[in-house]
Amino acid sequence: MENLIVTTPERTVMEHVDQPVEPPPADESVPACTFQVKNLSIWYGEKRAIDNVTLDIASNAVTAIIGPSGCGKSTFIRALNRMHELVPKTRVEGTVLLQGEDLYLNDVDPAIVRRRVGMVFQKSNPFPTMSIGENVVVGLRLNGVRDRKFLNERLEKSLRMAALWDEVKDDLHKPGTSLSGGQQQRLCIARALAVEPEVLLMDEPCSALDPIATAKIEELIYELKARYTIVTVTHNMQQAGRISDYTAFFYIGRLIEIGPTTKIFTNPTDRQTEDYITGRFG
Amino acid sequence: MIAPKHILGTFDEALASLRNNVLMMAGLTERSLERAMKGLFNRDDNLCANAIADDEEIDQLEIQIDRDGVAILLRFQPVASDLRRVVSAMKLSSNLERMADQATTIARRARKLNRHPHLDEVELMRPMYEHAMAMFKDSVDAFVREDVDLGRAVVLRDEKLDELNRVASDKLVARMAKDPDQLRGYLNLIFIGRCLERVGDHATNIAEDAVYAAAAEDIRHQTHAASV
């Protein structure tokens, strides 16, 4: 029994406390903004989907957009890379500044905007006729890149960033659709990263995935925010709480409230936000 | 303001049940403290025994509230005011359990005092008891009514209780020197005073939790924080 006594006078309880491995970030001031959205309104024909929204999106942070179905979440993030223009009869008022540049000026090429602002969708959508490798570098090829060494380097780098390299490095020639749902979604993230965007938009990236695949994507989002500004739409309140630094609540096309996620999920300012996140809506 | 019901009715039921158990626990703790102090003032051993017996039920309620609180966190993942209410309810139950332990200690000390001749100094406990109980009842009211102002006011009243305890202790220590034959009795009264002072501390904690639940404001340790 005496073997159970391990305490000596030199030992302290404090020994059990993990020491910080790196100093906390020193700068707690107002974060830099990647997007500045001012008085944005969007119509689909006669229907106004976004109603006079003004907000800033912080750089190298995850901003979650939450709100009930039809509140304009997806329209809003699509407006951040002009993807909504693919829907006929859309009209936009207001300004969207990306690093201070207005995305909606007449001389701005939407294709270049979409290269700078990548997007991942709810349902993974690898190109069905392409291999895993081809799926990743298709964006670069479409932009005229032909250098095989460069493409191979970017392929590996993108798959590594998407935490997929180790799982697929020996199967790069296999069809993208041969992967599991979670792997396909990470493949789509790798495809978006391959063109080295400044921002990653994600429209419910985990809603079709099982909990393990969801956890991998969430972990990936956490790692990617060191390099990218991420804006994600989610219906999952717990996910918004876990992965985001800022949360914006939309309702009937309007921005009701945006703030640090901890604040929104412990003490939201607006009654409508409180009712929505606590499940009292409608 | 009355919050609208949750879409999920079982969530409302679980929150209501948790709250009801906390209020039941508060009611039993109040009764236990009253029995213990009446046992002291009226020299009634039966009341003291009842106060000690109450503790078992209060302990069981603490376990139940913790279990229910964890179940709510697990099943419903509450946020915002719901989260604050669950966290506060669990903290309240911990404070109530400790208050009930003070009632048990008071009852045990009172039984010891009852075996010996009456000491007039027992009356030194009365203003402390009244003050501590008023703090306790108001702190629970602040939680029930989500009354931030009342919660803040309770916290400020703890200083007076500390002062009453200091004065009573000084008098009892002085009596010990003059009347060493009753030393044990005076010592028991000092311990009872200490228990009442702790009751005030727990009431303060409850009032602070009530303010947090109602307004998401953490008002703990403010004098200390201001002086650092």
A238, A267, A282: residue with CB nearest B77:
A238
Mean pLDDT on A227-232 = 96
Q: Is residue B1 included in any domain, yes or no?
A: no
- pLDDT tens digit sequence for A25-35: 655 566 799 99
Q: B206 to chain A nearest CA, in Å?
A: 19
Coil vs helix vs strand at A249: strand
Query: Residues of A numbered 209-268 whose beta carbons fall under 8 angstroms of chain B's beta carbons: which are they?
Result: 237-238, 241, 265-268
Q: B91 to chain A nearest CA, in Å?
A: 17
Whether residue B2 lies within 8 A of chain A, CB to CB, comes out as no
pLDDT of residue A29: 65
Whether residue B9 lies within 8 A of chain A, CB to CB, comes out as no
Structurally, at CATH architecture level, domain A32-129+199-277 sits in 3-Layer(aba) Sandwich (3.40)
Residue A177 buriedness (CB in 10 A; 0-12 / 13-18 / 19+): middle
Mean pLDDT on B10-23 = 95
Residues B57, A47: Cα–Cα separation, whole Å: 61
Confidence of residue B66 (pLDDT cuts 50, 70, 90): very high
CA quadruple A163, A167, A168, A169: dihedral sign: positive
CA quadruple A235, A239, A243, A244: dihedral sign: positive
Mean pLDDT on A130-145 = 94
Chain A residue numbers with beta carbons less than 8 Å from the beta carbon of B2 are none
Better-scored residue on pLDDT, A120 or A21: A120
Bridge-partner residues for A201, per DSSP? A119, A231
- pLDDT tens digit sequence for B136-153: 999 999 999 999 999 999
Whether residue B12 lies within 8 A of chain A, CB to CB, comes out as no
Chain A residue numbers with beta carbons less than 8 Å from the beta carbon of B6 are 278-280
Q: Domain residue spans in chain A?
A: 32-129+199-277
Helices (runs of H) and strands (runs of E) counted in chain B = 7, 0
pLDDT of residue A23: 62
Whether residue A278 lies within 8 A of chain B, CB to CB, comes out as yes
Query: CA of B160: how far to CAs of B156, B164, B198, in Å?
Result: 8, 6, 13
Residue of B nearest to A266 (CA): B80
pLDDT of residue B55: 96
CB within 8 Å: B79 and A281: no
Whether residue B5 lies within 8 A of chain A, CB to CB, comes out as yes
pLDDT of residue A209: 83
- pLDDT tens digit sequence for B102-141: 999 999 999 999 999 999 999 999 999 999 999 999 999 9
Residues A166, A153: Cα–Cα separation, whole Å: 15
* Angle made by CA atoms B42, B47, B48, in degrees to the nearest 5: 95
CA quadruple A183, A185, A191, A196: dihedral sign: negative
Chain B residue numbers with beta carbons less than 8 Å from the beta carbon of A275 are 3-4
Coil vs helix vs strand at B7: coil
Give the length of chain A: 282
Chain B residue numbers with beta carbons less than 8 Å from the beta carbon of A282 are 7
- pLDDT tens digit sequence for A35-82: 999 999 999 999 999 999 999 999 999 999 999 999 999 999 999 999
Q: Which two tokens stand for residue A36?
A: 């500045």
Confidence of residue A86 (pLDDT cuts 50, 70, 90): confident
Give me the number of domains chain B comprises.
1
Residues B191, B181: Cα–Cα separation, whole Å: 18
Residues B136, B30: Cα–Cα separation, whole Å: 8
Q: Is residue B3 included in any domain, yes or no?
A: no
Q: Is residue B196 included in any domain, yes or no?
A: yes
- pLDDT tens digit sequence for A10-23: 777 777 777 767 66
Chain A residue numbers with beta carbons less than 8 Å from the beta carbon of B3 are 274-275, 278, 280
Q: Is residue B176 included in any domain, yes or no?
A: yes
The answer to whether the CB of B35 falls within 8 A of the CB of B107 is yes
- pLDDT tens digit sequence for B77-101: 999 999 999 999 999 999 999 999 9
**Does the structure show a pLDDT above 60 at B225?**
no
What domain range includes position B199?
9-223
Q: B3 to chain A nearest CA, in Å?
A: 8
Confidence of residue A246 (pLDDT cuts 50, 70, 90): very high
Q: B6 to chain A nearest CA, in Å?
A: 4
Q: Is residue B38 included in any domain, yes or no?
A: yes
CB within 8 Å: B80 and A274: yes
Confidence of residue B175 (pLDDT cuts 50, 70, 90): very high
pLDDT of residue B83: 96
ipTM score: 0.78
pLDDT of residue B217: 94
Chain A residue numbers with beta carbons less than 8 Å from the beta carbon of B214 are none
A241, A265, A278: residue with CB nearest B6:
A278
**Does the structure show a pLDDT above 70 at A231?**
yes
Coil vs helix vs strand at B41: helix
Q: Which amino acid belongs to residue B174?
A: A
CB within 8 Å: A278 and B82: yes
Q: Average pLDDT, whole number, for chain A?
A: 91
Bridge-partner residues for B19, per DSSP? none
**Does the structure show a pLDDT above 70 at B224?**
no
Q: A271 to chain B nearest CA, in Å?
A: 10
pLDDT of residue A11: 75
Residues B211, B56: Cα–Cα separation, whole Å: 29
CATH number at residue B110: 1.20.58.220
Rounded to 10 deg, the angle between the B80-114 and B125-145 helix axes is 160
The answer to whether the CB of A258 falls within 8 A of the CB of A247 is yes
Mean pLDDT on B165-183 = 95
**Does the structure show a pLDDT above 90 at B168?**
yes
CB within 8 Å: B5 and A280: yes
Q: Is residue B96 included in any domain, yes or no?
A: yes
